[in-house]
Every structure is written in structure tokens, then in C-alpha cells.
Structure 1
């Protein structure tokens, strides 16, 4: 057990320190105290994230990191930053770095501009992303305004991840690491090589199995997640968060004014079927959003001009999204200068510098062009948004070009939108509130623990183990406990059958405990934990009996693997070889069909639109499998189990056996439906009707396609589930499993939490009937809602299981008692009463723990 505990303790992941220590005297004294503290912490870590609020001097922190690395370690240094921001770094270097602490900067656009002198190289993201600069030439790098990494599937992220792989020193800096989506924080961890992004997703975030990409932080993992983040990132809203004075670091008051203008609904246009639209709906599509911006542009620009007239001499940032809007602003606002994408870079930067220094009054620009890195608070305290969209990151960055530390005046933010964009406004406000909540959460962590060592040992200690609880009945024995420990307590050769759905590697986590098998890094890590359980399952199973293991393959997404398309991890094959390695005979597998349409709604892997673009990237639906493993019988000269599973001819007829073995069911008497009659059937009734049709006829692929096309033409082919699912006539493929027949149905009726992966009754019942005797003990090490013991009780067996989740255990106990009550209630036809099974029947099976 000691080895198993050591394995569990090793699960706690923290960011390793790969840097070096630096004396306080070696750090530039012109840096603010909180900056000096962050520099020291980041250098010790080697690969760290600096998420500091607007105006907390991330620029000087990065410059000092590169300077000190140049003094201590060999190799070139590189700071990567957005277009139009380099002037901020050169100004900061000139202002704060003097004498022995001076730092030289060298701007580069290509590899041939790299120098070997003791300088810090500065480059734009575009130069690196487009392959003009090779990051492998540098030993240290820092990404300024690193929020460009937040989008996992973006070109920048996918390009930067391998380019910077293995760099000894890596840093990211931004004020908005994840303005409204917590899960995006882990993308920085992936870049910094703290933890693989896919691993972090499965460790901390729960999936919505019915909707792709919808991930939310596990409630029971929230504390651990933020402690883990704080081991490699500093979230700072004020120097006071680290115990320093906040003098000069109080954000200015901000007045936000929303201005709604009317739109012309008569210009709403048409939908894709040519039907006229009654109202403008910018949320319907990108095309509709662009159309609405064009329709309302004149009214929005007129409103902007009215606002400017309230104080004509004030300096203003005029934010917009379209080039047509820029041109309209230039025509309506005298003296305005603009920054735009096709503009010469030097002109772009000069306009930004001149506006920063107050040399002209109005600057028109887009949030994606000037929303990051530019500090305009010296002469400007007024921003006007000529329009809105749902990109909150760009929106909040644009606001904080003036609402930042160092701003001496109250800030005014005017936001203009059309009445058709009320939904977009609501989205922005919701994201803003979520952003504020996240920052408050991290402020709590940093104020509590600072930049010192986190109390990870106490977190780990609270997360391992569970207070064992045993509940028994006449026909069941279930335990709240780790399954490895519980299996070790179970007598050898005592279990008649094992029926279980093992965790699908790290696809789901079911508890806050490190005992949870889902709390693993990857498949290899999962199987290392199974190496503690599977030998115990082999030991406790009766010789010659079966372990029936339910599994499903894992879908791997291209933006995680780098393959560019979804691939499949053959988890069922890994399961086969794992159990063989631990002594089991492999006897085959049963395939359980799943609904490919429902599956695609959960992962977007088999999208019809993508199929039309390129069918070569398409796989097929992923079924489930029941793998049959046999513990070798004592007498290997014969194939019989030590204690055989027998059936009487009266109870199990030859006819039933033939149907069960062949599973080829026929019916007669009704004629086949015409295609027109198929189209007349209500959509919800089509799946059941098609099952009957498939069972009664020889399968004709082209005819089924034709039926589907008729349904599609009548708009009766559903997209949320599969209407024309083929029926299998093969005994090794079960296509008639009722997917909804699980204990989650009872959970829903009781208004309690559903299980993530409930096991269907059909699967459990057939396995118990086929491979066990009445009175056998049926065991499930991963009990969940106790489906296996529940069905075992009703099938005249003894149910036994372990479970780690307290809520699931309590619900499962309810169902076991319910099944036992049903089994013990005699019917009016029970003339002969069978003698009850003594409560002590399990006594020889379960042992008390040793000291």
C-alpha cells in the first residue's frame, strides 16, 4: 500500500523552478518595489507568467528580466511585442535604465538583423509567426501582451508553441490573461511548458458531453486550480496585493455611458432561403453583423459627432471596427489622425507617439490595432466607441489604454450601439462581470499566499484518501472507499463476475480526490494506476470466470495533437493488452453502437460541412465496447470454470440460445413503407420506425440513403440525434441498447445530480445473465450510482461495489435498498418461498483492515 500512496502523492502538479536566484542589490533600483519582487520571483522560476494590471510596469519588469539573464546566462534574449508598441519599450529603457543598470535594445525584423552584442532584441509577433525570425536562436524570451496566446487553435498559438519549445527562460506578460474564459489561462501554461494544455483541460475542467468545446471549471477543483496557477503566475491588481504601498496606484474613476441609436429594420435583408427578415439580427451570423454595422453606421457616426461637440477641445480615442467607419470618422472629425492595417509601420508608430505626447486631439483606430501596449493616459481621458462587437478582450484592452495607473483625471467612456445590438451589449456586460470575478479570485490567492511557497503539502494531504464507509443489505455490500484498497480487502477467488465501466483514462474526473483514476496526466499515467488495481481484480475473481470491462475510445483533437484533424486514441486496444499483461485471457469484445449524430454534436468531429470540404479528414462514429477477460481456470486441460456457469434447458431454451447467439431478429406481416410515407412520419417517431424497418428487411444502403434524402427535403431529418441508425444482425454488435435506460432517469425524477457516464441497464443485464449464476457475487470497483449491484440484486445475485464520490455513493445506496425491497416483496404467485440468503454470506469475502 505504501507504493500506491507514493503514486498518489506524486500526482500533485506544481511548476518546477528552473531559473536562478538573484540578490536584491543586483536588481535595478529604479524599478518600483513590487516590480523588483516580481523580477526576483520570475528569475527563480525560469518560466513564469506576469499578469499585472494596466500601469503596473510590465514593460520595465520584462526589460530587467532580460538584462539580468544576460548577466547570468549565456545566449541571446528576445522580447516579442505587438505592432506599434516598440516605442514604449525604448522609452522605458531610456527613462529607467541608467549606468550599470543600462540596457540596450535592438529592433529586428529578420534573422539577418540579429546581433551578438550584449543587447536585448525586440521584434513584432508577425515577424516570428511568419518565419522571418527563428526563436531557437535565443536562450530567453518574453512575450509582451501575451493574450494573443489565449486562443488555443489560433495560428499564433500553434506556431509559437513549437518554435519556443525547450527555451531555458520563457515569460509571458499581459494585463488580461483571460478576460472572460477561465480555461484560456492554461494556454499560457502550455506555452511555458508547465503542463500540457490537453492534460490541464482534463484535470481541471468538466465537459458538456452534448456540446463541443463547452468546458467549465470543476467546482471541487477550483481551489486547487487557482493554487496551481499561482505556482507559476502572478496576478496583480495593485502593489498592495504583495504587501507594498499602493500610493500612486489607484485607478481613476470611470464613467461608462451607453448610447443606443435607431436602425433601419427595412434594410434587414433576407435569410438563406430567400425569406425577408422583419428585423436586423447581428447575432445571426458574421454576415448579419457586418450588414447591421453598415445599416447603422451613419446614425452611429452622427452620435459620435454630437458627443465630440460637448467638449471639442478635449483629446479623444475614437474606436471603430470597419474601414468604412474609419473613413466616415475622417470625413466627420476635423484634424483626426488614423492608425490602420495597411498603413506604413513607421507612420503607424509616429501617430501613436504623437497622440501619446498630446500633439493632436483625436486618434481613430481599431481595438485590435492599438488596444494593446499603448499608454495614452498622459493627455487623454476620453474614449468613444463608434460601435461594438462581442470581442470582450479587445474591448477591455481598449478601455484600459486610458483607464490605468498614472491617469490623473476621471475617465469617460462613451459606447455607441444600435438597437439591433442590444444582445451584443448584454454579452459584453456579462463578460465584463465575469472578468472582474476572476480577477477578484486571484487577488484573494495572491494576498493570502504572496509569491512565496504555497502550502501544497496540506492541500495534498486533504485530497488523498476517504473515510471508509460500509453499507450492507441482504443482497448487497457497497463501500465508500478507494477501489484499490477495497479490492485488497476482498478474499481471493470469491467474486463470481466483474462488471464495470473503467474510467476512460483522464477524460473525466469524478471527485476532488487524488485517488480518482480520472485524475491522471495521460493514458500511460492512468494505466500505471490501474497496475495497482488489475492484479487485485485477477486475484479476487473466481478461476474460470469473466471480467466484463466497458470502454470507449478517446477522441484526440487536431489543435491538441498538432495533426490538424481529429484522431482516435485506441483506448479499447490498450485495455486489452493491459489485462492480458496481468494474466487474463482475452475472449473477445461486444460492440455497442452509439448515435453518430449525437456524438458529433458533442465534439464536432464528423461535421457534414467539413465532410463536403475534404472527406479525407473524416473518420467514423466511435462505438462503445465490452471487453471479455477470463481468469484462467485451475485445470487448463479443460475449458470449464472451477465453478461453472450453468443453465437448465427449461429456463434457457435452444430457441432462445439461437436468437441470443445470432441476434438476427425478423418480423413479418407488414408491408414496407414508401419514401413518401417515411416523410409523413413525425420526426420523433422516425428512429423507432426505422429500427423496426431494419429488423424486418434486408439492408439496402442506397435505399436508406434515399429515405434520408426524402426526409431531408421535407425538413424532417433531425440534426440533434440519428434518425436512421442501422440495426446490427451480428451477435458481437449490440445496436439495440436503450441509451436512456440508466439510473440517471431516476436521478432526474428525484431532482438530484446526474452521473457523467451512467452505464445502461441493457448492457449490465445481458452480461449478468450470460456469464453468472444466481447467487453469485457481482462486483464493480467503479460503482458510480451502483448500477451493477442494483441490477445484480434484481437478477437474483449479490451486488458488491466500491465508490469514491460521496454523493454518488449515497444515491447508489438508495437504489440498492430500492432493488432489495423489490426483490423481497413476494408476488401473489409466489407459492413456494425460497430460503433467504443469510446476511453473513459476504463475511468470508470482506476482511477487516490489518493494522
Structure 2
């Protein structure tokens, strides 16, 4: 395809995996907004319904189940929290789906549909059935069933089966028996690190029709939304992380949504998830959907003491530590139980002893204190507690009884009854006897009563001590983020409805089209897609290509689809490189060098499906790619890296894990400069059409030997002793080691001995490699200054740093080795124009393209500063004049 078509094909939207249905088949009992959402979900096949509390998620899931059973000929499974089964059964009777709801604990116990009945039914419906292969297969299957050879081969009865997440967690549910599945209030998918979620992703993703129905996701760094997307199969989670999130290179797992990607992110989400707060969000009437007033009452309980106050380190302090430390929060909750329970009792006494109440708590000790306090009073002796050690049946019976008004006070934890249960009909008062940082549990618990259909104002009392203001502040901030998230999505729903094609058309605007260019001294630079620039360049134009290519889809450098980092995996990246690399070959002079900086990639367990981290040979794929397009590999330069720093960024090489099992630990990843050559025009010798010539006094015999030498080290001499190391300054030790390692034959045991001696005196750093192996070979560069980049200037100017900068001394050494003065050096991925900057300093010319407008502006600043510096006459020039 043409390059522009390729770019448009990268627009990220969710595909349709389902079937278009006749809307006339939908139940007449569905409300208008439900009749719009259900067929959209079935057509997509893998969709999420993020609907506010009371908008009929259970009704929509049941209708989806009915339609999917008809499409697939298999039963449908709905996974849900405790005490929600009753609601689904009531709604199923109202909706009259035609399918019975059955609660299951284990799929091994399910009855199969008798094939004899199925054969008879088909015969009655179709007289030609006996002549078909289906008839023969059914008969053979029926005979196998009678012989009980393998009864698991047969379909279950066509029903809507429901189960609790506890059964899913235990692995009791075989998903392959179902044609579709829906996760109601899908808290099970909020965290991809748990064994439960890994099980769900591994097995439930095999079901063709998959749905999620829950209230608006919580703003937990947006990871929850990505987990839903991963489960539904609308995008690979690693691709989504790369596309929309900025990585923190100093802290593994810390992600922030790019500010300039927010709009695109929400548009992408809108192609597979519908957010709806009211029917009017989809253009329908809101009659009957008005929420009552929500009263949040904050009550501070004074937790004072005459005892000596200590912090978490045991030091005596004047005031309690009110930081975000979970240890401090836990201690404060434990110390204030009696105070908070007494206050909760007073609130009930003062605000309605005859009303129904929910007492939310988090600790088992809180439950015991609540029972002791309330059950001692005649008015409250019907208080019932729902807690973890009860059977699921006991919990469900108690929760259903409370929802039906059969007792007055419910005491339970948000993580037990905070999701799914509809408790609004007989309750509109609740007390959080304690608060914590878990916003999702908090907001879900509130909405057990505060939902559409509630006829009374809902009163929510929050109890906290004077030392828990940080917890309350955090909950409020998360609530505000929650509202902002809802607003973002609701606005998109109102603008686009459920029209995915309209969203895709609008997203095409993000293809880059604002070219800029400048010429500074001997450098011409562009703010443009590098492929387009190289398509416009003449043949045999440049003398060297020197660049650091994007490392597949590891990072994105700009917010449009031209970005090479915005691709689906390495295959997508190299597909885009297929448009650029032939242009690089065409524009490079025959016989000249393309130096390509790369690094192999770490692939984490959630990306590979394995339980351990592995390495992807990105450098090898780069070699294969360039050779495919006519380049010839003539060398590899290895640049060692600091393994300790790498582990601090990836956590894959930890010392502790190495001691537990050495087989799971690899080694640090070096970087490479791959040296490719374009074949000369003449084949009678190996010389370039325009050779790079070095004078004998510039390129000494000793330097040539190091350039050509294969890197070997073995045995050797001793370094400083333990006594000397314990007394010496670390700067002195580092410099002496560098000198020693370069001047002696290498001895691994001696290197290890020095590290151990430094560790004994607590001088072996955990932040960087204290005494790294050094190299005297020009093919293995260990003396690279990682701070020697234009990023240092970026930090000083408080500007955004380039994500993967190439060190200036690497650039200098490559330019000097493979070009003549006056040559034109091409950097297709300019970044901050480091290559152009160093080319000018070494009396070369440069051409470079950069897509990111901010990088272009900053790089242009550095080039202009260098131009001024080069143009200022020196004192010697003035004296000569």
C-alpha cells in the first residue's frame, strides 16, 4: 500500500468480532438506551458496558446472553459478586428470555443436553435432516454418550449459567463449555499481577463472545481499563502501554498517561466501551433517572493519648506521623477502633434508631467491636454481620435478607458486599466506621444505596481521626479524578454515540502535516516524517548514516501515527521501516557506512505468556531487516551497560531472586552499533566510490591494531587489598581499578574478590556498578559517559528529555572513523539533533529529520548556539588579523 494508507491503517480502534443481529429480536421490555447498547455489544463481540448504577446492566447482560446462545448454540456464563444471583433471576423472569438461570459451582457437575432429544427436535423441524452429515455425527455422539466413553465431549443444556468469582478463582469453571461470558462488576480484572487474573486471561480469552458490565472504572492510573481491554482482546496490553503511557525509566511499572494522548486514548476506549450516566447521554429521555441528594458528612474523632508517641522507626516524636505510610495508617486504625465504633453508635442513636443502616468497616477487630457495642442494646440486637469465614451461601442469604428489609443493621466490609448488591429499597443510611486508601471499594460501597430508583436522600458518614486527614484527602482526589474520567467519556458518547466509523474518521487528523525546516551552518534539519523526507532526497546523496532507530514499539516520541514507535509489536515497526530503509540505501553513496544504534528488548511475563522474563533479539531482527533491503553487515560495536542501573529500572536481575533460583536470571543488556555498508558501484575492489581516507599521522598502527583486535581477557594480577580498599576514597578506587583493568590481563576471580571486599565495608553501591569491567578494544566500549548527551542541557533548561539519547562521544568516534571532513552525515531519527550537532563540530555537514515538534525546537536551539560559538573569532584569529 502507499505510505499514507499504511499510516491510516495504524489508527487504533477495536475491531468487530461478533454478529449483526435483527433489532426486532430484542425484548420489548428493554428500555431505549438498553436496546441501543445490546446490539452494539453483540456486533462487537467483545465489549464493555460502563453504565452508572441503576441503568440496567443485569437486564442488558441477560438479553446479550439470550442472543449469543442463539448465535453460538452454546450456553452463556455470567460471573458475578456474591448476593447478586437473586437480582439476575428476578430480572430474567421479568425479561422472559426463555432460558433458565442456573447457579453452578463446578462445570464438571453440569448436565449435558440429551442428543436423542436434539435429534428428534431436528427431525421434526427439518425432514432433510436425516440425509445430512450432522445427523450421522449426532447419532455417533449419542452412542458414545450411552457408552460413557467421554461425556465431557457434549454440550451443556442451553441455559444462562451464573457463578461467583470465588469459583473462578479456584479454577472450578471450564470456560470452553460456553459460547459467551460476561463479567458483572469485574473487580477480578483490576489487577493483572494476581494468579486469578492470569487464569482468566489464559483461559477465558478463548471464549468467542466476551463482555464486561460494570460501573465507571476507577482512576487507578488507567490500568484497570487496560486490563479490561486485554481480557476482551481489543488490544494487546503491551501495545496499549507503549501507545498511550509515558514510562518512568527510573522506576519499573510507574506509568503516566501522556498529556497529548488523552484525547486519542479516550476515543480508542470509546470504540470498545460505552460510558453512560443517564439515558440522555445516548439521546434518550431521562424520565425516572434522577438521583436523590447525596449527603457526605465528615466526622473527625479525636484520638488523643498521654503515652509517649513514636514513629515507625521507634523514635520519640511530638506528633503522630500523618504521612501516606500504610504502616502508620494501619496503626492509627487499630488504636482508634473503640473511639470510632462509639461514634458510629451515637450517630445511629441520634439520626434514626428505627432506620436501616450499613456499617462499613475494614478490620475483623472492628466487626467484633461493632457487634459487642450494638448488640448490647435492645434496639439493635438484630444487627447481622457478613464476614469472610462464613460460607458463600450464608453470606448471600444474609445480604438478600437485608436487601428485602428483614433486619435493621448490616455490618460488613466493602470488599465483601461493596460490589453488585442492590440495597437501596430498604436502606439510605450508611457509616464508614473507618476509611482507607481504596477508592474503588469506597465508591462502590456508596452506590449500594445511592443509585437510580432510590427514593430518599442518601446519608454517608465518614469517620476518621485527626491523624487520617491524608487518607481523606487522597479519597477526595481520587473521587475528583473519577468524575473527570466520567466527564471525558460521557462527552465522547454524546458527540459520537456508538459510531466507531465516525471516531476513526476523526482520528485521521492525527497524521502529521505541519512541516518545518531550517538550515544552520552546514546542517539542514526538518520537523517532518523521516520517510517522506528521504523519499524526496536524491540518489547517492549522503556520505554516512548515523542514527539510533526506535527500539520497536518500546517508546513513542510524538503524538501522531507517523511515529515509528506507534506500531503493534516489532512486526509493525519493521513494516514501517520497510518504507524507510530502501530510501536510506538509495540515498547513501555506494561503499559508505550506515551505523545503526540498537539494543535488545526485555519482554516481561505478561507480554510473553511465560512466567519469567526473556530477551527479544531486536538487534538480530535489525540485521535481518537491513540485509533484506540490500545493506551488508560489516561489523558490530558492543557498548557495555551498568547492570545495577538496569536492574533498578527493570527489576529482572535482582540479587535476591538470583539467590532463590539462578536459572531465571539472565545478564545485563549491552547496546550495539551495527555497521552496515552499501555495496560499491564497482565490484573489482572493495573501495567505496568516494573512499574515507586517513593520513598515516592521523591513523596510527597502534590504533589500527585495537580497531581490528578481537576482545579476549583471561587470568591476571591482583588489585588493592582489603585493607587498602577499606581506607581509600571511592573515587580513587574507581580510577585505580580503571587503570588496573586496562593495564593488566583480566582475572575474573580478582574482580570478584575486589567486589566482595568492597561489599564487606559497605561500599558496593546498589544504584550503579561500582567497578565495572573496562575495555581497551574499540569494538567493546565500556568508557562511555552516559551523561554526555544533549539531555544534560535539557535538564538544565527544564525541558523534556529525549527518551533514548545517543551519547556524544559515541557519535564523535563513529563520525571520525567513517567520514572525511566536509562529508554529509544523515540522521533519519534526529531527536535533539545530536548527530548534526557533533557533525558541525567535526567540520562535517548534516541532514536530519525529527517528528516531535518539541525535540525539533530544542535541537534547533542547540544548533544555533553552536553556530554562534563556531562563528565567534578566537583571540588567535584576532591577533592574526
The reply to whether TM is greater than 0.5 is yes
Structure 1 position 203 matched with structure 2 position 243: yes
Evaluate the alpha carbon distance shift between residue 268 and residue 356 of structure 1 in structure 2; reply closer, same or farther with a 3 A threshold: farther
Query: CA offset at residue 714 of structure 1?
Result: 5.5
* Separation in 2, partners of 1:727, 1:604: 24
Structure 1 position 321 matched with structure 2 position 317: no
Paired residue for 1:841? none
* Separation in 2, partners of 1:426, 1:690: 51
Q: After alignment, is 263-272 or 7-16 more displaced?
A: 263-272
Structure 1 position 259 matched with structure 2 position 300: yes
Q: Deviations over 1:603-625 (max 9, x none)?
A: 22223333333332211222211
Query: CA offset at residue 72 of structure 1?
Result: 4.0
Query: CA offset at residue 693 of structure 1?
Result: 5.8
Q: Deviations over 1:99-120 (max 9, x none)?
A: xx44420111111333444421
* Separation in 1, partners of 2:788, 2:712: 21
Paired residue for 1:346? 393
* Separation in 1, partners of 2:447, 2:703: 74
Query: CA offset at residue 578 of structure 1?
Result: 1.1
Query: CA offset at residue 708 of structure 1?
Result: 4.6
The residue correspondences of 1:166-245 to structure 2 (distance < 5 A) are 166-245=206-285
Paired residue for 1:33? 32
* Separation in 1, partners of 2:408, 2:223: 40
* Separation in 2, partners of 1:355, 1:193: 38
* Separation in 2, partners of 1:57, 1:613: 50
Q: Is the Cα–Cα contact under 8 Å of residues 46 and 211 in structure 2 kept in the other structure?
A: yes
* Separation in 2, partners of 1:777, 1:759: 19
* Separation in 2, partners of 1:105, 1:28: 17
* Separation in 1, partners of 2:812, 2:575: 31
Paired residue for 2:80? 81
Evaluate the alpha carbon distance shift between residue 490 and residue 330 of structure 1 in structure 2; reply closer, same or farther with a 3 A threshold: same
Aligned to 1:498, what secondary structure does the other structure show? strand
Query: CA offset at residue 54 of structure 1?
Result: 1.3
Structure 1 position 392 matched with structure 2 position 425: no
Q: Is the Cα–Cα contact under 8 Å of residues 170 and 192 in structure 1 kept in the other structure?
A: yes
Paired residue for 1:416? 463
Query: CA offset at residue 343 of structure 1?
Result: 0.5
Query: CA offset at residue 764 of structure 1?
Result: 0.4
Structure 1 position 60 matched with structure 2 position 59: yes
Query: CA offset at residue 371 of structure 1?
Result: 0.9
Evaluate the alpha carbon distance shift between residue 832 and residue 766 of structure 1 in structure 2; reply closer, same or farther with a 3 A threshold: farther
Query: CA offset at residue 133 of structure 1?
Result: 1.7
Find 1:635's aligned residue among 672, 679, 682: 682
Query: CA offset at residue 263 of structure 1?
Result: 6.1
* Separation in 2, partners of 1:157, 1:414: 34
Query: CA offset at residue 517 of structure 1?
Result: 0.6
Paired residue for 1:148? 188
Paired residue for 1:587? 634
Using structure 1 for the length normalisation, give the TM-score: 0.91
Query: CA offset at residue 176 of structure 1?
Result: 3.5
* Separation in 1, partners of 2:294, 2:656: 46
* Separation in 2, partners of 1:831, 1:795: 22
Query: CA offset at residue 771 of structure 1?
Result: 1.0
Q: Deviations over 1:281-323 (max 9, x none)?
A: 6978766654443333233323323333323332211112222
Query: CA offset at residue 386 of structure 1?
Result: 2.3
Q: Is the Cα–Cα contact under 8 Å of residues 68 and 179 in structure 2 kept in the other structure?
A: no
The residue correspondences of 1:452-491 to structure 2 (distance < 5 A) are 452-491=499-538
Q: Deviations over 1:349-386 (max 9, x none)?
A: 11101111111111111111111100111121222222
Paired residue for 1:113? 109
Query: CA offset at residue 236 of structure 1?
Result: 0.9
Evaluate the alpha carbon distance shift between residue 404 and residue 689 of structure 1 in structure 2; reply closer, same or farther with a 3 A threshold: farther
Find 2:407's aligned residue among 350, 360, 382: 360
Give the paired residue count.
825
Evaluate the alpha carbon distance shift between residue 389 and residue 565 of structure 1 in structure 2; reply closer, same or farther with a 3 A threshold: farther
Find 1:574's aligned residue among 614, 621, 624: 621
Query: CA offset at residue 629 of structure 1?
Result: 0.8
Q: Is the Cα–Cα contact under 8 Å of residues 492 and 539 in structure 1 kept in the other structure?
A: yes
* Separation in 2, partners of 1:318, 1:549: 64
When the two chains are superposed, the root-mean-square deviation of aligned CA atoms in Å is: 2.9
Evaluate the alpha carbon distance shift between residue 22 and residue 213 of structure 1 in structure 2; reply closer, same or farther with a 3 A threshold: same
Aligned to 1:220, what secondary structure does the other structure show? helix
Gaps of 5+ in 2: 112-155, 376-380
Evaluate the alpha carbon distance shift between residue 710 and residue 650 of structure 1 in structure 2; reply closer, same or farther with a 3 A threshold: closer
Query: CA offset at residue 677 of structure 1?
Result: 5.8
* Separation in 1, partners of 2:610, 2:476: 37
* Separation in 1, partners of 2:764, 2:807: 26
* Separation in 1, partners of 2:471, 2:681: 70
Q: Deviations over 1:664-711 (max 9, x none)?
A: 999xxxx96554664566778876675456446665555555555565
Q: Is the Cα–Cα contact under 8 Å of residues 182 and 438 in structure 1 kept in the other structure?
A: no
* Separation in 2, partners of 1:693, 1:276: 49
Paired residue for 1:565? 612
Q: Is the Cα–Cα contact under 8 Å of residues 311 and 321 in structure 2 kept in the other structure?
A: no
Query: CA offset at residue 501 of structure 1?
Result: 0.3
* Separation in 2, partners of 1:691, 1:379: 77
Q: Deviations over 1:715-761 (max 9, x none)?
A: 55443333333323333221111111111122223332221222210
Paired residue for 1:97? 95
Evaluate the alpha carbon distance shift between residue 536 and residue 245 of structure 1 in structure 2; reply closer, same or farther with a 3 A threshold: same
Paired residue for 1:440? 487
Paired residue for 1:847? none
* Separation in 2, partners of 1:283, 1:613: 34
Structure 1 position 139 matched with structure 2 position 137: no
Evaluate the alpha carbon distance shift between residue 503 and residue 677 of structure 1 in structure 2; reply closer, same or farther with a 3 A threshold: same
Q: After alignment, is 102-111 or 250-259 more displaced?
A: 250-259
Query: CA offset at residue 173 of structure 1?
Result: 0.7
Q: After alignment, is 569-578 or 169-178 more displaced?
A: 169-178
Evaluate the alpha carbon distance shift between residue 464 and residue 420 of structure 1 in structure 2; reply closer, same or farther with a 3 A threshold: same
Q: Is the Cα–Cα contact under 8 Å of residues 51 and 233 in structure 1 kept in the other structure?
A: yes
Q: Deviations over 1:465-493 (max 9, x none)?
A: 42333312341111222111211222222
Q: Is the Cα–Cα contact under 8 Å of residues 82 and 372 in structure 1 kept in the other structure?
A: yes
